[in-house]
């Protein structure tokens, strides 16, 4: 077991002759997928920045809407 | 793949409380500070808006500066919430998760949180959609691990998959009720503290007595800010319990899919 913890055989998953728990398997999968994630991370950063800008503007729009309604 | 399961909402809140207790005071203080920064700035913004309500639209650059502050504190709070949710998951699994969060998981939680914050500023004044918006924001934080591989569009697909919307909304209402009790207690404590301090001779609190009345909306806003920050760890703990109990009911199909994917890559 990679994390050196005790698990029952039902909870462990064997891959390449090594037993993994769910967390360890997720880490292995994560390391493997790291190389293909660069573009996705970049696009996610762009989207988050765009939504943050929109949120900043939404404060003003919200103020204008409520001021107009009251 | 997640299966629908009947959850007792009170048990989830109880479980969240247990996790909050297990994590200790340092984690509590960590989340409290970041949440207070956001709720405090939102309360101050609302107080200022109530003062200038009728001529508010005339001060556009002023509100834009408030927008920067609110978005900044919301972003910091969401990042702190993700770290806290991670600590909750680690405590439930009984493992030590690495504190570093995968960038896509963090960005996914931020994207969902900010998108719903935009919606909150448009329709929040009607109050009714707020529980739905807040429950989805918290659910995105609790399920941040699901976004580890997702593209910006994939994040929404992941969120919709096994949404448990009924439970999330129910849990939000229950935690909201708990938050309301905390807020009432915070305001009562403020009144009590002022009365007690006023008992000491030589301390002039006349100005405070004049301000600390239930007719003053700032008192309610300040009480809301502190109460929300105090209840934040319970909120994240309860939602993590909801996600964790859903995940523990997996059929194993997701693990099999991972294994096939890994075997294909290593072949």
Q: Which residue of B has its CA nearest to A10?
A: B252
Within chain B, where are the H helices? 9-23, 25-52, 60-93, 103-123, 130-142, 152-160, 165-198, 206-211, 217-247, 253-266
Q: Is the pLDDT of residue A58 over 60?
A: yes
Report CB contact under 8 Å: B68, A40: no
Cβ B76 vs Cβ B109: under 8 Å = no
Query: Which pLDDT belongs to residue B2?
Result: 46
Q: Which residue has the higher pLDDT, A22 or B248?
A: A22
Cβ B124 vs Cβ A62: under 8 Å = yes
Report CB contact under 8 Å: A58, B54: no
List CB contacts (< 8 A) between B60 and chain A: 60
Mean pLDDT of chain B: 86
- The beta-carbon neighbor of A58 closest among B104, B108, B121 is B121
The residue ranges of chain B whose pLDDT is under 50 are: 1-4
Quote the crossing angle between the two packed helices B9-23 and B60-93, to the nearest 10°: 90
Backbone dihedral angles phi then psi of residue B212, each to the nearest 5 degrees: -85, 70
The pTM is what?
Answer: 0.80
Report CB contact under 8 Å: A37, B104: yes
Query: Which pLDDT belongs to residue B41?
Result: 95
Cβ B8 vs Cβ B213: under 8 Å = no
Q: Is the pLDDT of residue A33 over 70?
A: no
Query: Which pLDDT belongs to residue B3?
Result: 46
Query: Which pLDDT belongs to residue B1?
Result: 45
Query: Which pLDDT belongs to residue B256?
Result: 67
pLDDT band at A4 (very low <50, low <70, confident <90, very high): low
pLDDT > 70 in chain A, percent: 67
Write down the ipTM of this complex.
0.79
Query: Which pLDDT belongs to residue B90?
Result: 86
Alpha carbons A68 and A62: distance in angstroms, whole number: 10
List CB contacts (< 8 A) between A7 and chain B: none
How far is the alpha carbon of B55 from chain A, nearest alpha carbon, in Å? 7
Residue whose entry in the numeric block shows the structure tokens 């998959």: B161
């Amino acid at each position: 077991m990679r994390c050196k913890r005790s698990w029952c055989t039902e909870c462990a998953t064997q891959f390449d002759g090594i037993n993994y728990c769910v967390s360890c398997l997720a880490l292995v999968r994560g390391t493997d997928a790291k190389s293909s994630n660069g573009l996705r991370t970049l696009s996610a950063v762009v989207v988050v920045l765009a939504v943050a800008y929109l949120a900043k503007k939404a404060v003003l729009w919200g103020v204008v809407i409520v001021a107009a309604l009251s | 793949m997640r299966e629908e399961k009947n959850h007792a909402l009170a048990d989830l809140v109880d479980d969240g409380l247990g996790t909050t207790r297990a994590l200790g005071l340092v984690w509590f203080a960590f989340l409290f500070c970041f949440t207070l920064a956001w709720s405090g700035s939102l309360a101050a913004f609302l107080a200022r808006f109530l003062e200038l309500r009728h001529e508010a639209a005339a001060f556009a650059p002023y509100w834009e500066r408030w927008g920067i502050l609110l978005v900044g504190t919301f972003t910091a709070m969401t990042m702190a919430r993700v770290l806290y949710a991670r600590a909750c998951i680690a405590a439930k699994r009984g493992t030590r998760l690495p504190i570093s969060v995968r960038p896509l998981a963090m960005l996914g939680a931020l994207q969902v949180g900010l998108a719903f914050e935009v919606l909150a500023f448009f329709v929040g004044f009607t109050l009714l959609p707020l529980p739905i918006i807040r429950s989805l924001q918290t659910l995105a934080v609790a399920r941040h691990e699901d976004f580890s591989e997702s593209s910006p569009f994939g994040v929404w697909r992941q969120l919709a998959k096994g949404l448990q919307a009924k439970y999330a909304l129910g849990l939000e209402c229950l935690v909201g009720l708990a938050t309301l009790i905390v807020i009432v207690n915070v305001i009562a404590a403020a009144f009590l503290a002022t009365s007690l301090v006023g008992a000491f001779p030589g301390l002039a609190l006349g100005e405070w007595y004049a301000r600390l009345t239930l007719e003053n909306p700032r008192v309610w806003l300040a009480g809301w800010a502190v109460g929300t920050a105090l209840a934040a760890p319970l909120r994240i703990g309860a939602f993590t319990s909801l996600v964790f109990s859903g995940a523990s009911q997996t059929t194993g199909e997701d693990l099999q899919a991972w294994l096939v994917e890994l075997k294909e890559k290593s072949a």
